[in-house]
């Protein structure tokens, strides 16, 4: 590894540590809730290792818990992760190698890492991206491990209020989108659609339809 690459990687690790700390807490809640929902600790751990996406994991798990079915959960998670298609397209010219090698490197893309690796001129520092994602991935797996296997030590979900993580998490996502210029209308539309459909359609359908509203923003 070139010296400049090592420097970028180390800088990325430093920038990724605060995000990793937050991810550790969130993934611990996911581990506890996933097991409470009927997942085995190993299943929760494998899901975090393969998906490594908080919104998608919480969405899929909450839909399955609510009785919406595995297929609805997978579709909801896919819609929530659709943003990575655009992010990957922007990143691709900054990644060397053929399609397969670029695809492997792009597995390190998560929202904070993609943002800090952006040079602001349409290019990305891939080594900074790799460095920033490394501690976040370790934190996410460690948190899931702690929550899934140490849930009894953490305590009962309702006693600690962890049953409110799902709605609080999605409310936080909504607030973040409302603060971003250009996405406020779509965020509000998704919230209104979900709230309007909850009393009338089966579990899982409101979040699917609300997530589909994002496609309108993508088209725009």
For the cut 80, the answer to whether the pLDDT of residue 87 exceeds it is: yes
Tell me, yes or no, whether 155 lies in a domain: yes
Instruction: Tell me the average pLDDT across 26-53.
Output: 89
Domain hosting residue 93, numbered range = 3-161
pLDDT, position 145: 94
Tell me, yes or no, whether 110 lies in a domain: yes
Model confidence over 137-172: pLDDT tens digits?
999 999 999 999 886 655 555 555 555 555 665 666
Tell me, yes or no, whether 76 lies in a domain: yes
Tell me, yes or no, whether 178 lies in a domain: no
Tell me, yes or no, whether 25 lies in a domain: yes
Tell me, yes or no, whether 195 lies in a domain: no
pLDDT, position 71: 75
- How many angstroms separate the CA atoms of 93 and 195, rounded? 40
Number of domains present in the structure of the chain:
1
Model confidence over 175-201: pLDDT tens digits?
766 666 666 777 788 788 878 887 887
Q: How far is CA 151 from CA 58, 129, 162, in A?
A: 17, 32, 11
- How many angstroms separate the CA atoms of 9 and 117, rounded? 10
């Amino acid at each position: 590894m070139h010296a400049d690459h090592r420097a970028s990687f180390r800088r990325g690790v430093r920038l990724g540590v605060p995000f990793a700390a937050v991810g550790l807490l969130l993934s611990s809640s996911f581990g506890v809730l996933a097991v409470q929902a009927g997942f085995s600790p190993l299943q929760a751990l494998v899901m975090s290792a393969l998906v490594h996406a908080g919104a998608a994991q919480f969405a899929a798990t909450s839909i399955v818990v609510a009785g919406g079915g595995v297929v609805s959960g997978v579709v909801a998670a896919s819609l929530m992760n659709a943003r990575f298609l655009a992010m990957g397209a922007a990143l691709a010219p900054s990644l060397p190698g053929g399609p397969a090698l670029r695809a492997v490197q792009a597995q390190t893309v998560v929202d904070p890492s993609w943002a800090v690796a952006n040079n602001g001129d349409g290019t990305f520092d891939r080594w900074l991206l790799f460095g920033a994602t490394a501690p976040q991935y370790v934190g996410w797996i460690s948190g899931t491990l702690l929550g899934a296997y140490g849930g009894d030590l953490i305590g009962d979900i309702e006693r600690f209020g962890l049953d409110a993580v799902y709605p609080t998490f999605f409310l936080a996502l909504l607030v973040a989108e409302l603060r971003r210029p250009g996405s406020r209308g779509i965020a509000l539309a998704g919230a209104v659609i979900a709230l309007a459909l909850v009393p009338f359609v089966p579990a899982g359908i409101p979040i699917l339809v609300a997530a589909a509203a994002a496609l309108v923003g993508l088209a725009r």
